[in-house]
């Protein structure tokens, strides 16, 4: 598939190649994502799915190809990188909240320092977002005083604080105890309904089935198969996807 | 299948508590442990009684006559001769106390030094008082900037009609404290920058930071002091004469910065990459990332080692006597050569030891408190 220059595409990835030293981590990735689209990326570990979404906000450098996010082409230009990062927020597997700052300070940091918002304004917005993820009453606490599920919801709220157009989720539920996964997924489903563009690396197939418009299966640094959820789960074409689905769905 | 009722809480068995239990567990738990305990007791028996005898019971505390609430105490102050050689002669310390504390600072001006001491002590009180004050950071900043400037002019003079006291007159404990605190305070920010430089992706900065740190750490402080004292002036031949104290301060600051840099680097390395990534991902720039996210956490972890390194420096300041500065230790050698008090170095060294211990132990305790207060765990 070759990239067409379509303005409706909020993310365009063309011929993306990335190496870690000698290791070819991403092989010729082409992917276009429309505004408001919900994409789930799955695949076995080491397949390059995290690397892919980390390239989108330039947490990882890549050697070949181009990525255009919201009309901005990613280069080494620091200013461009920073503006892409405020358009495309990242939620991490291990939350990566700032443990020395209270929850509310975690949220208001970027609005105050990066977007020059007033303290009061930022605080008000942050409280609204905390309310949205259901933990407004924990605003003055510190990250380590919250459960994993609550921390991840704070992390989602923190990502939303800069009003991004795109949310990147890097295995947001993989580090959580089983009973906390659903509270985080619920928040993500709510977000999906609101029309924000989402790329979500996850193993939660229930979530994928429910909200994804496209599911992308990666293996060994390549996109192997890409389909709507119905076809993806019920009529997988490639053998590798069949094997993968077999492994994760049959127990 | 069965259903279990919830269990009541009980006190631990009596064998788990009490002094006998403590002795058995900590001092007499095994044959080796019994042996070590007895050996330790014997050593205390050998060392402690003679030491107390020398320092207190057989020592001379005759500081001269004084009156208190109308009563007269004491007799004429003891001299070196009627003090005896077998025990401490504390009147020596009493008479030379000013020398130990102020060196050759003009006697009629020592009130200025006393004000600085009082200011320093009040800083600790102020830090406590403003802990919950809204403009806390501004007060602290004003203190950090204001105190050294005020101290410099109070001790050195030259403004507001204060008589100038040249640095070669500075000495004793005062000089020790000046060197240690200037060394610690100025080298700290330099050390932080060097640590960041050594972590930097910019090759040139990284290279020079590394070279600097590794060079300084491979050279003894004495060498650096000698270099600063004798080699540095060779570069400034144009009649510019560098103050001797200033040269020592530069040497000590450069030396300590390298050590602080390594301590801070240790703290930086303990910060998970996730913190850097999260800071990047929310769009913070390099300065914001380090100032708001990385350093606050890294410095907190580094507190014990920063204080440890500061304590080392405090002790190392005694080396300045070899380039002719009269710090507290140098004053001991000086005063023990007084024809009236020959051979009383031991008392002087014990006094210096105790003074050092009081300062350094306080620093160590203070760092413990800081650790607790700045704890980032927030676990409860």
Report the residue count for chain B. 380
User: CB–CB of A59 and B281 under 8 A?
Assistant: yes
CA distance A163 to chain B (A): 11
> Residues A50, A171: contact at Cβ < 8 Å?
yes
Q: Which residues of chain A lie closer than 8 angstroms to B279, CB-CB?
A: 98
| Element (DSSP H or E) covering residue B98 | helix B91-102
Average pLDDT, chain A: 89
Low-confidence stretches of chain B (pLDDT < 70) are 14-16, 73-75, 236-242, 376-380
Give the chain A residue nearest B295 (alpha carbons).
A100
CA distances from A189 to A129, A160, B81 (A): 15, 14, 92
Distance CA A15, CA A108 (A): 37
Query: Does B278 contact chain A (CB < 8 Å)?
Result: yes
Of the partner residues B284, B297, B379, the one whose CB lies closest to the CB of residue A114: B284
Q: pLDDT of A203-223, one tens digit each?
A: 888 889 888 999 999 999 999
CA distance B289 to chain A (A): 10
Instruction: Quote the tokens at residue B182.
Output: 């200037």
**A2 pLDDT tier (thresholds 50, 70, 90):** very low
Predicted confidence at residue A81, as pLDDT, reads 87
Looking at A57-177, list the stretches that DSSP marks H as alpha helix, in order from N- to C-terminal side.
78-87, 103-113, 119-132, 148-160
Instruction: Quote the tokens at residue B126.
Output: 């102020």
Bridge partners, residue A197, by sequence: A166
Q: pLDDT of A126-149, one tens digit each?
A: 999 999 898 889 999 999 999 999
User: Beta-carbon neighbour count of residue A27 at 10 Å?
Assistant: 16
Q: Could you please report the per-residue DSSP string of B184-221?
A: HHHHHHHHHHHHHHHH-S-HHHHHHHHHHHHHHHTS-H
Instruction: Quote the tokens at residue B57.
Output: 């019971």
Instruction: Quote the tokens at residue B195.
Output: 């640590």
A89 has pLDDT over 70: yes
Predicted confidence at residue B247, as pLDDT, reads 86
The predicted model gives A226-234 an average pLDDT of 90
DSSP reduced 3-state for A44: coil
Gyration radius of chain A over CA positions: 18
Predicted confidence at residue A1, as pLDDT, reads 42
Query: Does B300 contact chain A (CB < 8 Å)?
Result: yes
The C-alpha angle with vertex B333 and arms to B329 and B337, in degrees rounded to 5, equals 155
> Residues B297, B228: contact at Cβ < 8 Å?
no
Positive or negative CA dihedral for A67, A70, A71, A74?
negative
Predicted confidence at residue B10, as pLDDT, reads 82
User: Beta-carbon neighbour count of residue A28 at 10 Å?
Assistant: 14
Q: Which of A78, A98, A157 is the mutation pick for testing B, counting most B CBs within 10 A?
A: A98
- In which region does residue A95 sit, left (phi positive, over 0), alpha (psi from -120 to 50) or beta (all else)? left
Of the partner residues B274, B284, B296, the one whose CB lies closest to the CB of residue A113: B284
The C-alpha angle with vertex B215 and arms to B209 and B219, in degrees rounded to 5, equals 145
> Residues A157, A132: contact at Cβ < 8 Å?
yes
Q: Give, to the nearest 10 degrees, the angle between helix A119-132 and helix A148-160.
A: 130
Instruction: Quote the tokens at residue B311.
Output: 């304590």
Distance CA A28, CA A19 (A): 11
CA distance A210 to chain B (A): 28
- In which region does residue A96 sit, left (phi positive, over 0), alpha (psi from -120 to 50) or beta (all else)? left
- The DSSP output letter for B166 is -
Q: pLDDT of B254-279, one tens digit each?
A: 999 999 999 999 999 999 999 999 99
Query: Does B270 contact chain A (CB < 8 Å)?
Result: no
**A3 pLDDT tier (thresholds 50, 70, 90):** very low
Of the partner residues B280, B283, B380, the one whose CB lies closest to the CB of residue A145: B380
Distance CA B259, CA B195 (A): 10
CA-closest candidate to residue B277, choices A84, A59, A100:
A59
User: CB–CB of A109 and B297 under 8 A?
Assistant: no
Distance CA B91, CA A177 (A): 71
Predicted confidence at residue B379, as pLDDT, reads 52
Distance CA A13, CA A26 (A): 12
Give the chain A residue nearest B286 (alpha carbons).
A78
Give the chain A residue nearest B274 (alpha carbons).
A96
Predicted confidence at residue B219, as pLDDT, reads 92
Instruction: Quote the tokens at residue A14.
Output: 């063309």
CA distances from A56 to A10, A24, A84, A168, A171 (A): 11, 17, 9, 9, 15
Predicted confidence at residue B380, as pLDDT, reads 45
Decide: pTM greater than 0.90. Answer: no
Bridge partners, residue B73, by sequence: B66
Predicted confidence at residue B38, as pLDDT, reads 93
Q: Could you please report the per-residue DSSP string of A73-86?
A: EP-S-HHHHHHHHH
Q: pLDDT of B32-80, one tens digit each?
A: 989 999 999 999 999 999 889 888 888 777 777 777 777 776 667 777 7
Predicted confidence at residue B15, as pLDDT, reads 66
Distance CA A43, CA A201 (A): 9
Predicted confidence at residue B112, as pLDDT, reads 87
CA distances from B83 to B20, B88, B342, B352 (A): 46, 8, 12, 20
CATH of domain B166-373: 1.10.3720.10
Q: Which residues of chain A lie closer than 8 angstroms to B272, CB-CB?
A: 94, 96
A78 has pLDDT over 90: no
């Amino acid at each position: 598939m070759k990239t067409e220059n379509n303005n409706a595409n909020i993310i365009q990835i063309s011929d993306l190649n990335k190496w870690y030293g000698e290791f070819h981590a991403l092989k010729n990735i082409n992917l276009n994502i429309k505004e408001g689209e919900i994409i789930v990326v799955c695949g076995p570990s080491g397949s390059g799915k995290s690397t892919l979404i980390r390239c989108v906000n330039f947490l990882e450098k890549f050697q070949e190809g181009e990525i255009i996010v919201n009309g901005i082409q990613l280069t080494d230009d620091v200013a461009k990188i920073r503006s892409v990062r405020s358009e495309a927020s990242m939620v991490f597997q291990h939350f990566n909240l700032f443990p020395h700052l209270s929850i509310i300070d975690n949220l208001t940091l970027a609005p105050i320092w990066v977007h020059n918002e007033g303290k009061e304004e930022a605080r008000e917005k942050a409280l609204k977002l905390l309310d949205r993820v259901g933990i407004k009453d924990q605003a003055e606490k510190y990250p380590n005083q919250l459960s994993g599920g609550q921390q991840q919801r704070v992390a989602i709220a923190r990502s939303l604080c800069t009003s991004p157009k795109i949310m990147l989720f890097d295995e947001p539920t993989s580090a959580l105890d089983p009973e906390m996964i659903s509270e985080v997924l619920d928040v993500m489903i709510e977000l999906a309904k609101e029309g924000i563009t989402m790329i979500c690396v996850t193993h939660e197939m229930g979530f994928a089935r429910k909200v994804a418009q496209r599911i992308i299966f990666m293996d060994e640094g390549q996109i192997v198969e890409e389909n709507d959820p119905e076809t993806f789960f019920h009529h997988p074409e490639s053998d590798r996807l069949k094997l993968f689905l077999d492994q994760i769905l049959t127990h | 299948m069965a259903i279990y009722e919830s269990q009541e809480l009980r006190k631990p068995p009596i064998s788990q508590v009490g002094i006998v239990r403590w002795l058995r567990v900590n001092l007499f738990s095994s044959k080796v442990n019994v042996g070590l305990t007895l050996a330790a007791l014997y050593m205390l028996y050998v060392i402690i009684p003679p030491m107390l005898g020398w320092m207190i019971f057989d020592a001379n505390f005759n500081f001269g006559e004084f009156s208190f609430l109308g009563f007269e105490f004491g007799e004429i102050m003891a001299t070196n001769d009627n003090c005896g050689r077998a025990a401490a002669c504390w009147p020596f310390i009493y008479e030379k106390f000013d020398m130990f504390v102020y060196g050759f600072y003009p006697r009629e001006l020592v009130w200025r030094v006393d004000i600085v001491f009082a200011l320093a002590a009040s800083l600790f009180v102020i830090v406590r008082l403003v802990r919950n004050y809204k403009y806390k950071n501004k007060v602290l900043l004003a203190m950090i900037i204001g105190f050294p400037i005020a101290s410099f002019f109070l001790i050195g003079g030259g403004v507001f009609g204060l008589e100038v006291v040249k640095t070669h007159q500075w000495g004793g404990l005062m000089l020790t404290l000046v060197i240690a605190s200037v060394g610690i305070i100025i080298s700290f920010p330099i050390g932080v920058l060097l640590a960041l430089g050594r972590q930097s992706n910019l090759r040139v900065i990284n290279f020079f930071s590394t070279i600097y740190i590794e060079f300084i750490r491979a050279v003894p402080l004495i060498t650096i002091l000698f270099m600063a004292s004798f080699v540095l002036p060779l570069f400034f031949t144009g009649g510019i004469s560098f103050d001797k104290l200033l040269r020592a301060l530069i040497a000590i600051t450069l030396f300590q910065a390298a050590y602080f840099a390594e301590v801070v680097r240790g703290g930086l390395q303990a910060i998970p990459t996730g913190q850097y990534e999260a800071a990047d991902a929310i769009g913070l720039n390099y300065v914001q990332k380090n100032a708001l996210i990385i350093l606050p956490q890294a410095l907190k972890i580094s507190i014990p080692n920063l204080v440890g390194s500061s304590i080392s420096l405090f002790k190392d300041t005694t080396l300045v006597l070899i380039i002719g500065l009269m710090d507290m230790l140098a004053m001991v050698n000086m005063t023990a050569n007084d024809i009236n008090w020959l051979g009383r170095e031991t008392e002087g060294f014990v006094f210096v030891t105790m003074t050092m211990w009081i300062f350094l132990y306080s620093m160590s305790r203070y760092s413990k408190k800081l650790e607790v207060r700045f704890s980032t765990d927030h676990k409860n």
